[in-house]
Structure 1
Amino acid sequence: VDLGGDEPPVGSEAVLFGPGDRGEPTAEDWAQAAGTIAYEIVTRIGTRVPRVYVNGEPSGQEPGDGN
């Protein structure tokens, strides 16, 4: 992610996409910019990127399993 020279403190929150209610880009916004569909955006994120669910664990996931 290019922050244009900004250097936020280590541990700062980085929201790449979300629902859009706080002004963050949505997966659809990224898809339009990349010339694809939102499904491609959300499914192409590799497993090395930790998932943080702010509204609880997703259905079928166990806490601490790395997803």
Structure 2
Amino acid sequence: MASPGRSEQLADEFEDCGGPISVGEASSLSDTVLAFRLGTTTREQLDRCLPRLASELSGLLDTDLGAREAS
């Protein structure tokens, strides 16, 4: 899991990446978000990560469900 001090730096790495990501990257982004401290994390930091995380997890779920329906 990313440390709270490193989480902001990691968030910047994901901010501008608009292409598809791997399960490993989604996992890393999840770790980054979970490392944020609610008392000190700014709304801006959350807004950079959470929409992308939600989108990627939704895409992974859609891919998984599509694979299950095709089998």
TM-score (norm 2): 0.24
Identify the structure with the greater helix proportion: 2
Larger relative contact order, structure 1 or 2 (CA cutoff 8 Å, min sep 6): 2
TM-score (norm 1): 0.25
